Amino acid sequence: MSKKGLFFTFEGGEGAGKTTLIEGLAKKLATLDFSVVKTREPGGTKLGEHIRNILLDHSATMSICPRAELSLFLASRSQHVEEVIIPALEDGKIVLCDRFTESSLAYQGGARDLGIEKIAPICSYMAHDLIPSSVFYLDIDPKIGLQRRGKLSDRIESETLAFHQKIRQAFLYLAKQHPDRIQVFDAGKSCKEIFHEAFDSIADILAAHGLPI
C-alpha cells in the first residue's frame, strides 16, 4: 500500500484548542493549493458518528466499562482509517485529524488504567498500523483547559480533575517516549502563536517531502 499524502494528528486534553488550530491550518494549507481533509475521532464516518453518540452521551443510563470503551473508540478508528484516511493519503492529500491513537493510549491506557504498553499493540492493529507523519500535542494544565471549556457536557469531559490530570501525564509520557513524532506545544500560548509554530513545523515536514511552501 503506497501512501503519498501526509497524515497529521492533533491531541490534547479538554480545552487545549485543537479544533481552532486545525481549522486555521486547514484554511492556510488550502490557500496554498494543498488538498486537505479535515476529520475527527471518534467519528469521521457514518459508523463512527453512531459510535460517537454512544460514547459521549452524558444522559446515557447504560454503563460502559473501560475495555468496552476502548473497543468502541477502536471500532470507530478502524472504519475511519479504512473508509476515509487511507483513501485520502493514497490520493496524495494532507489529512488533519482531531485525535487518533494517542488519545486512546492517554485516555483509556493512562486515565482508565488499562495500561499504555498493554493496549498499544491492540491500538496499532485496529488502526491498520497507520502511524501519523507527526502528532501535534497541545499541552495544557487541565484546570485551565476545563475552565476554558466552560460547561462540561459529555460523558468523558465530566470526569474528575484527577482523571484529566492522568490524561495529561500520559500524553507527556508518550511525547517523551516518541520525541521523533510527537511534538509538544504550550497551549497556554495564544492561538496565533501556536498556529505559527504548528504551521512552521508542517512547512518543514512538507519541505522534507519535496513540497516546499
Stretch of 81-89, 113-121, 153-161, 185-193 lying at the interface with ligand TYD (CB under 6 A) = 153-161
Burial class for 81, CB neighbours closer than 10 Å (0-12, 13-18, 19+)? buried
Give the nearest distance from C-beta 115 to ligand TYD in angstroms: 15
136 binds ligand TYD (CB under 6 A): no
Contacts of residue 196, defined as CB under 8 A and 6 or more positions apart, other chains included, come to none
Stretch of 83-91, 98-106, 171-179, 191-199 lying at the interface with ligand TYD (CB under 6 A) = 98-106
Count of CB atoms within 10 A of residue 136's CB? 24
Contact indicator for 13, 137 with CB cutoff of 8 Å:
no
Chosen residue from 56, 120, 131, 211 binding ligand TYD by CB under 6 A: 56
Q: How many residues bind ligand TYD (CB under 6 A)?
A: 16
11 binds ligand TYD (CB under 6 A): no
Q: What sign for the dihedral angle of Cα 63, 54, 15, 181?
A: positive
Q: Name which of residues 165 to 184 contact ligand TYD (CB under 6 A).
A: none
**With respect to ligand TYD, which residue has the nearer C-beta, 33 or 117?**
117
Give the nearest distance from C-beta 157 to ligand TYD in angstroms: 6
- Residue 129's alpha-carbon distances to 121, 124, 137, in angstroms, are 9, 5, 20
Stretch of 24-32, 134-142, 149-157, 203-211 lying at the interface with ligand TYD (CB under 6 A) = 149-157
Chosen residue from 34, 73, 171, 185 binding ligand TYD by CB under 6 A: 73
Residues in contact with ligand TYD, shown as a per-residue x/- string from 105 to 134 under the rule CB under 6 A: --xx--------------------------
Contact indicator for 83, 37 with CB cutoff of 8 Å:
no
Contact indicator for 130, 7 with CB cutoff of 8 Å:
yes
Starting at the edge strand that comes first in sequence, how are the strands of the sheet with 182-186 ordered?
36-40, 94-98, 6-12, 134-139, 182-186
| Site of interaction with ligand TYD (CB under 6 A) | 14, 19, 40-42, 56, 73, 98-99, 103-104, 107-108, 154, 156-157
